[in-house]
Amino acid sequence: MRFSNTLVQAVCLVCLLVVLPVAAEHTSNWAVLVSTSRFWFNYRHLANVLSLYRTVKRLGIPDSQIILMLPDDMACNPRNAFPGTVYSNADRAVDLYGDNIEVDYRGYEVTVENFIRLLTDRLDEDVPRSKRLGSDAGSNVLVYMTGHGGDRFLKFQDSEEIGAWDLADAFGQMWEKKRYNELLFMIDTCQANTMYTHFYSPNIIATGSSALDQSSYSHHADNDVGVAVIDRWTYYVLEFLENQVTSANSKLTLGDLFDSYDESKIHSQPGLRWDLFPGGEQEGRLRTVADFFGNVQNVEVEDGNVTEPGSLKKDLDEIARLVEKWHQRDQVYQSFLDNNQTTENQQHISPQRTVQRRNAGATKMSDEKSWEKRAIGVSVLGACIAVWLTGSILGRTSA
Amino acid sequence: MAISEIVQDPSLLPILQTSAETLAQCQQLLALLDPATAPGSSPEVQEVSLAVSRQQKVLFALLARLRGQNRDATLRVRETKQATAEARQEIDRLHLQLQNLYYEQRHLNGEITACESYDHKYLSLPLIPIEEFLAIHPEHRESSDHDLMVARINHEHAEREKLEQARQELLKRKQALIAENKKRKDDLANLDQDLERFIDVSLSRDPLLCTIANGEYQAAKPIQKIFEKEYYNVPAMTGRNGELASSQTSSPAADDVTTTMSSTKASAQRLPPPEKAEAVRTRTGVIAAFWLVIILFGFPIWWKTTSIYRARLPIQEMIDWADGKRLTVYFYVVQACRPVFPLDIHVETPSLPPSEAQHLIRTTQHALDDLNEFSAHHLRLKLAEGSRGEEPYIDGESETGVEEKADTTLVVKLLPEDNLAGPRSELHADTSQLDVFYPPSQVPTFSSSNSPLSSFIAEELQKLFAEEKTTISHIISSSSSSPSPELAEDIGRRLRRTLKYADTYHLAFSLFTPGAEPSSWDIEGAVQEYLTPLLEAFSPISNFSVDTQVQIHAAFAPTAPLPTFDETQAAWTLKKEDLSAFINAAEWPLSPSIGAGPTINFILYVPSPSQAPLVIQGSHQATSWIVPQWGGVVLLNPPLALSDPSPRNPKHLSRESLRPAFLTFSHQLLTLLGTPTTPASLPFRLQTLMRVRAATLLLSASSTMGSLARLTESLPSIPIPATVAASVSTTLAHLSSACSHLREGRFAAALAAARVAEGEAERSFFEKSMVGQVYFPDEHKIAVYLPLLGPIGVPLLVALIKEIKRVVASRRS
């Protein structure tokens, strides 16, 4: 009994030792960057998002793991004095649009429904993987949103809005399905800090640009472009990311990023939320910026000369043997075929090998039963006519 | 007209003169050259030619002068022109000024006339004629026109103010009169009422008197009282009436008015005719019809269109699966499902008598059980019934026999061998067979409960399954209880680089090269030759589809660190820490495949001849690496064609040259799919993978079930279609069948069931229509419904209440 007790204790100790570092590790990075407003005068929101896009791409997240939602195309707007470009600074040093940008959701595809579907992955089967958030239990996800918002809502495209409740539920579902390891939520909009008040799922760090009843302001305008080009909070976040986080190996932490907030510059009170994160603020501040903005890629070089089990050399031997055996079997099969049907040998060498290209004929896309629908329509029409007739007959007799 | 008459400018005269001289000179020359006077002899010719040349010189001099003078003249002309232009400009300017002045003058004149002819207001004032004014005010007779006008205007103003005041007073009087009139009118109306009452009372007097006469004194008494009261009122009324009459004698027409008014008043005072019973019934019917439509049609339609369909889910069962209780009510038998892995190991003992073999197995089993700490995973030794076919696993034959009996995991063959100090074992690399060679002396006797041979076999088996056991316990308890933290760490690392399980994986093979060659490869043959065996072996676990592409002129990313030349290795080297930047994710077309399931990328990179051979920095010249959860990269340095001074890559990569690369790809595929590293037999490892995958899928499907159940409970606003319920029941059924298959050791069948369960669980969780409605609080609902229903609802409700009141009142009476 005593022995088993000590054993259990030892096992628990090992568990603790092993679990803690494992829990902190993640295997992939995803970024969801959303602008929610249309039209030329909201140029700065798209510039915000594109700046973030550029930063995460610079820090190594590939396009296939960035979901970029742009509701309008500022680069090709007829009012753009610099066609084909988007700038986030009046000095126009960096063209954010560039020649290499992958917008996943554009124009009227940027809706609340699509955003929630993206997060919860409740998408049609036909939706390509580049438009899906393929994160799993080992993924760190960065969600950045910008647009026009208010107390616990964010407007999408002037026509609808997402509430803090919806967002919280979407993250809740993501957590339920283990679609993230840790999540950093950033939002730059008026009264932004109200958007994350309803979150309830763990492992989320949230930060916003302004408190309740506060506006988020734009940073500066470019007189040649004619509109404001970036928001204040985003500008200073980017300033930190661009000037100090120079590579994905940077050791700067989220604490450093959040300490760089300067209310006198931002002109609003940026908010933080730590309570959902295990270990709270203390633990959360230790996460590096690259944990969310960069990409982990621990490549494993395979050495041809190491002979431990599972190494390249051993495996190569085994695979070679497998191939060899397959060869023999093929030959046996071949001879078997030869014996059976010598004449049709050519066509039957390997039925599974030949790639058969079947051209599917045209099919009707919908499987509606048109006759049924017509019958329903006819009966409804008939009923209406009957009601009308009886009404007119009755009216005549009474009159 | 001679030219001298036209040109008279003194400066041009010298030119004319010169030109005339020149003309003369020319004629002289012409005369000299005249063929008619051509000289015959040579001295003459000489003389003539001399004369000609002299004349010519003179002519040239003249021409030169002429040219000079011409130039001068031209220059002068130019100067003159300029002077003229300047003068003209000046004139223009002056002219313009003049014009401006003229316009100004005209404008001013116009202004003056406008001012003079201005139509003053006072001129149109209707004043009294000047004679009358002078008659009133003779003192102004002497004053000027202007003063006179001012005085007249002032006078007019004073007069008008006086008149206005008078008007106001008159208006006030009018108002007072109107008020007086109104008061009188009201008195008249009151008189009418009094009169009417008087008439009513006087009319009712006769029947009342009759009843009294009939002796019904009791009943008539209160009425009599009323009558008496009315009666006494009459004198007062007549008094007032008389007063009124006297006051109105002055206006006889008013009398007619009062009489007509009294008649109309009397008719308005009367009640409407009592409703007919029929009308009341109709009204009740109409109200009832409205309410019937609302209740029978409106309400159900509203209910139907606004309610969210939520299929019933077996919530408790789903949560139980997720919590690991996994109590399944299956064929009315309540059984707890724990993922257990009883592994059957067949022992072949060709050289031992059955009884001894039985004993050996028993003791070995004991030794094994002693060694095992992880109860879910245990090995069962069985004596083989004769010899049986081997390697059924890669062939896929095991699936046919799977329904009946448990899979055999391992065959242990005991072979006696002389001159051997201790037992030794040897694992067949291409089958799942373990040969154990032992000295015959070590066979345990019946008396002994333990022997070196049995403990040796037990230890060997334990060693073989150590990794699998650790992996499974790692997965099941999501933490490690392995004795060695290094092994656990190793497994954790491997699990992290393993791709998430999917039913279908897309394998994308890409050939990238920075130059134009090689531009083709025998990919079909290579895949067929080197990859298909492995994919076939994997077929019970996952399906695969293969895409290939060739990309020539594929350059590195501009920011990527370039390879450096290493003298000692005579090769171009890539730094290990730079490898993550090797893939130009931005430009190389490595986008994920369109279909369902993740893509595993395999990149074959052929460096340009100027950078060949390319290897990874390090002592071993490795040429391949794995990118966790993504794919693998192989650097292929083909033999360069050295015919030219500049070496070139071969144009085509043959199947043979692709062999090392594709074997490496196969290895990378094994690694990425999470195949365990030990033991050294591939079929054995694949079987282990199958068990590991079954456990993973079982857990993942159960946890998805739990997530779905919790989601259903926490979000009441999301719809749950019937398909989800169907998927859930399929999942649960397959989960329990997978569990029972596991318990009985049929791992292939368990994996198949778990695959179905996982697929259905994913489908049910990610059902497209299960997106919650956007948050819609109750106050918003009121704001939507009220403008719609208010205008309709209020009249309907009021009508209903009135009707009910009426019915209740009629009941009571």
ipTM: 0.72
In degrees and rounded to multiples of 5, residue A317 shows phi and psi of -60, -45
Mean pLDDT to the nearest integer, B95-111? 95
Interchain proximity A302–B625, CB inside 8 Å = yes
State which residue of chain A sits closest to B718, comparing Cα positions. A169
pLDDT digits (tens, 9 = 90+) for B456-476: 777 777 777 777 777 777 666
Task: Please say if A190 is a catalytic residue.
Answer: yes
**Which residues in chain A are contacts of B537 at CB distance < 8 A?**
322
**Which residues in chain A are contacts of B500 at CB distance < 8 A?**
136
Res. B1 pLDDT band, cuts 50 70 90? low
pLDDT digits (tens, 9 = 90+) for B779-810: 888 888 889 888 988 999 999 999 999 889 98
- Determine how β-strand B614-616 pairs with β-strand B571-574: parallel
Following CA atoms A291, A295, A301, A307 in sequence, which dihedral angle do they give, to the nearest 10 degrees? 50
Supply the pLDDT for residue A86. 92
In degrees and rounded to multiples of 5, residue A288 shows phi and psi of -80, 155
Nearest to A125 among B480, B581, B596 (CB): B596
Mean pLDDT to the nearest integer, B557-570? 77
Taking the C-alpha atoms of residue B701 and residue B318, their distance in angstroms, rounded to an integer, is: 10
- Determine how β-strand B408-416 pairs with β-strand B433-438: parallel
Is residue A195 within 8 Å of residue A208, measured between CB atoms?
yes
**Which residues in chain A are contacts of B479 at CB distance < 8 A?**
15, 18-19
Tracing tokens 């209310």 back to the chain, one arrives at A263
Tokens describing residue A4: 């088993």
The arrangement of strands across the sheet holding B433-438 comes to: B377-383, B341-348, B408-416, B433-438, B424-427
Cβ within 8 Å of B, A 331-350: none
Q: Best residue in B293, B527, B663 to probe A by mutation, most A CBs within 10 Å?
A: B663
Min Cα–Cα distance to chain B from A28, Å: 8
pLDDT higher than 80, residue B673: yes
**Which residues in chain B are contacts of A155 at CB distance < 8 A?**
none
- Which long-range contacts does A76-83 make (Cβ < 8 Å, 24+ apart)? A77/A40, A79/A40, A79/A226, A80/A40, A80/A225, A81/A224, A81/A225, A81/A226, A82/A224, A82/A225
Mean pLDDT to the nearest integer, A21-33? 73
CA atoms within 13 A on the CB side of B43: 0
Tokens describing residue B771: 């997106």
**Which residues in chain A are contacts of B591 at CB distance < 8 A?**
63-64, 130
Average pLDDT of every residue of chain B? 77
Cβ neighbours of A374 (radius 10 Å): 10
pLDDT digits (tens, 9 = 90+) for B362-403: 777 777 777 666 666 667 676 665 444 333 333 333 333 333
State which residue of chain B sits closest to A139, comparing Cα positions. B496
Supply the pLDDT for residue B201. 84
Interchain proximity A136–B500, CB inside 8 Å = yes
Interchain proximity A297–B682, CB inside 8 Å = no
Interchain proximity A176–B766, CB inside 8 Å = no
Is residue B374 within 8 Å of residue B481, measured between CB atoms?
yes
Supply the pLDDT for residue A294. 85
Interchain proximity A316–B663, CB inside 8 Å = yes
**Which residues in chain A are contacts of B599 at CB distance < 8 A?**
129
Where is B428: in which H helix or E strand?
none
Q: Report residue B665 CA to chain centroid gap.
A: 38
Interchain proximity B628–A22, CB inside 8 Å = no
Beta carbons within 8 Å of A122's beta carbon, 6+ residues apart:
A116, B766, B767, B768, B769, B770, B771
- Determine how β-strand B424-427 pairs with β-strand B433-438: antiparallel
**Which residues in chain A are contacts of B780 at CB distance < 8 A?**
none
Tokens describing residue A392: 């007119």
Where is B642: in which H helix or E strand?
none
State which residue of chain B sits closest to A127, comparing Cα positions. B594
Nearest residue to A313 via CA among B329, B620, B785: B620
Interchain proximity A160–B671, CB inside 8 Å = no
Supply the pLDDT for residue B180. 95
State which residue of chain B sits closest to A301, comparing Cα positions. B625
Mean pLDDT to the nearest integer, A307-315? 62
Interchain proximity A64–B766, CB inside 8 Å = no
Interchain proximity A128–B596, CB inside 8 Å = no
Cβ within 8 Å of B, A 137-176: 138, 160-163, 165-166, 169, 172-173, 176
Interchain proximity B489–A18, CB inside 8 Å = yes
Nearest to B678 among A123, A163, A309 (CB): A309
Mean pLDDT to the nearest integer, B514-519? 82
Question: Chains A, B: CB contacts under 8 A, how many?
Answer: 191
Cβ within 8 Å of B, A 288-327: 297-306, 308-312, 314-323, 325-326
Taking the C-alpha atoms of residue A169 and residue A175, their distance in angstroms, rounded to an integer, is: 10
Supply the pLDDT for residue A318. 72
Helical packing angle, B452-476 and B682-714, nearest 10°: 30
Taking the C-alpha atoms of residue A203 and residue A183, their distance in angstroms, rounded to an integer, is: 6
Tokens describing residue B590: 């490595």
Tracing tokens 């739990």 back to the chain, one arrives at B706
Mean pLDDT to the nearest integer, A337-358? 51
Supply the pLDDT for residue B258. 46
Which residue among the candidates A15, A26, A45, A148 is catalytic per the annotation?
A148
Supply the pLDDT for residue B293. 93
Q: Best residue in B475, B481, B588, B625 to probe A by mutation, most A CBs within 10 Å?
A: B481
Tokens describing residue B477: 């308890």
Supply the pLDDT for residue B446. 60
The number of helix segments (H) and strand segments (E) in chain B equals 21, 17
Supply the pLDDT for residue A303. 66
**B345 or B662, higher pLDDT:** B662
Tokens describing residue A6: 């000590």
Where is A279: in which H helix or E strand?
none
pLDDT higher than 90, residue A204: yes
**How far lies A207's CA from each of A199, A226, A233, A273, B789, in Å?**
12, 30, 11, 6, 43
Which residue among the candidates A26, A45, A190, A219 is catalytic per the annotation?
A190
Nearest to B667 among A138, A312, A323 (CB): A312
Interchain proximity B533–A299, CB inside 8 Å = no
Q: Which residues does residue B434 pair with via DSSP β-bridges, in sequence order?
A: B412, B427
pLDDT higher than 80, residue B338: no
Supply the pLDDT for residue A182. 92
Taking the C-alpha atoms of residue A96 and residue A46, their distance in angstroms, rounded to an integer, is: 10
Min Cα–Cα distance to chain B from A318, Å: 6
Mean pLDDT to the nearest integer, B72-79? 91
Task: Please say if A148 is a catalytic residue.
Answer: yes
pLDDT higher than 50, residue B237: no
Nearest to B616 among A162, A301, A308 (CB): A301
Cβ within 8 Å of B, A 116-135: 116-117, 120-125, 128-130, 134
Secondary structure E strands in B152-224: none
Min Cα–Cα distance to chain A from B476, Å: 13
Res. A352 pLDDT band, cuts 50 70 90? very low
Min Cα–Cα distance to chain A from B702, Å: 11
Min Cα–Cα distance to chain A from B704, Å: 7
Interchain proximity A301–B590, CB inside 8 Å = no
Max avg pLDDT among B94-98, B146-150, B529-533, B562-566: B94-98
**How far lies A333's CA from each of A206, A329, A330, A336, A349, in Å?**
63, 6, 5, 5, 9
Interchain proximity A124–B488, CB inside 8 Å = no
pLDDT higher than 90, residue A144: yes
- Over pLDDT 70: what percentage of chain B? 75
Q: Report residue A269 CA to chain centroid gap.
A: 28
Taking the C-alpha atoms of residue A143 and residue A201, their distance in angstroms, rounded to an integer, is: 15
User: Given 3-state DSSP classes, what are the helix, strand and coil percentages for chain B, each rounded to the nearest 5?
Assistant: 60, 10, 30
Interchain proximity A309–B714, CB inside 8 Å = no
**Which residues in chain B are contacts of A129 at CB distance < 8 A?**
592-594, 598-599
Supply the pLDDT for residue B384. 63
Name the H helices within B549-605.
Answer: none
Supply the pLDDT for residue B163. 94
Cβ within 8 Å of B, A 210-239: none
Nearest to B774 among A112, A173, A176 (CB): A112
- Determine how β-strand A153-156 pairs with β-strand A160-163: antiparallel
| CATH classification (class only), A28-293 | alpha beta
Cβ of residue A72 closer than 8 Å to a chain B Cβ:
no
Q: Which residues does residue B572 pair with via DSSP β-bridges, in sequence order?
A: B565, B614
**Which residues in chain B are contacts of A15 at CB distance < 8 A?**
479-481
Task: Locate the domains of chain B by residue range.
Answer: 3-115, 206-269, 315-336+694-774, 341-487, 499-673
**A280 or B267, higher pLDDT:** A280
Taking the C-alpha atoms of residue B694 and residue B472, their distance in angstroms, rounded to an integer, is: 10
**Which residues in chain A are contacts of B530 at CB distance < 8 A?**
319, 323
Taking the C-alpha atoms of residue B357 and residue B353, their distance in angstroms, rounded to an integer, is: 6
State which residue of chain A sits closest to B617, comparing Cα positions. A301
Interchain proximity A27–B496, CB inside 8 Å = yes
Cis, bond preceding B613 (omega within 30 deg of 0): yes
